[in-house]
Structure 1
């Protein structure tokens, strides 16, 4: 059996970020680790894509125009089709009460910007590790 045939399918991570450069950086870090990445520029697109593709994990920017990450996270967690998908908040809000607010919105993890590639990798690995 070849190494390629024995590999498990790539885990899918949906990166939701309205800033194209930030989104590109996060997706590149994840792609280099072998993750399949999906991208959404806003909360509405994120909800639609999560329901359609059911990723293994979502990295959600919280401060986005129109439908922000707080509300998108609440809606995803309220929907039985997407409630089981872990959501990691990615935000420039770095106060303790912001992390608590993100968790109340349904986020399972929290990364504050700017964050180092090693931190992104370690956090994603922790959420996607076999249990």
Structure 2
């Protein structure tokens, strides 16, 4: 499917979650909302795909096997190729200390799961809008 004249390619979102059902639900809803989607099931796979695909936004579960989301985000933010890609932390652990920890790891935003798909799409759009207007960190 081609894009309308004057429009570039649809933004690419990398969805990283070890739970297949959650990953597929978010991916399906993002695709329905007009995004291209790539998926990863652990932190190591997320790093490989991020370096290969250079997505526009990354949705990163923090509790992941192989390499956790905290460390994966630190590595993404310390690499020249990926440091400006917005990372939205996703977690089911609603602990009060985690938003600060997520920011310390380099996350640009924080969403507590379960979240409504509409809320997630709005956060992705917010990150894309910010990426266009904010200078690289």
> Aligning the two structures, in what range does the TM-score lie when normalised by the shorter sequence?
over 0.9
SS at 1:6 equivalent: coil
Q: Quick one: structure 1 residues 107 and 3, their matched pair in 2 at CA, closer, same or farther if it must change by over 3 Å?
A: closer
Shift of 1:3: 7.3
Q: Quick one: structure 1 residues 30 and 73, their matched pair in 2 at CA, closer, same or farther if it must change by over 3 Å?
A: same
User: Which consecutive residues of structure 1, in runs of 5 or more, have no partner in the other structure?
Assistant: none
User: Which consecutive residues of structure 2, in runs of 5 or more, have no partner in the other structure?
Assistant: none
Could you give the per-residue CA deviations for residues 3-38 of structure 1, whole angstroms, max 9, x where no partner exists?
723333100000001110000011011101110001
TM-score, length of structure 1 as denominator length: 0.93
Q: Which residue of 2 aligns with 1:116?
A: 116
SS at 2:89 equivalent: strand
Q: Any residues of structure 2 matched to 1:37-116 within 5 Å, and which?
A: 37-116=37-116
Q: Provide the rounded CA distance (Å) in 2 between the counterparts of 1:29 and 1:3.
A: 19
User: Do the aligned residues in 1 keep the contact of 2:92 with 2:114 (CA within 8 Å)?
Assistant: yes
RMSD: 1.5
Count of residue pairs the alignment pairs up: 130
Shift of 1:118: 1.4
Shift of 1:75: 0.6
Runs of 4+ in 1 over 2 A off after TM superposition: 2-8
Shift of 1:95: 2.0
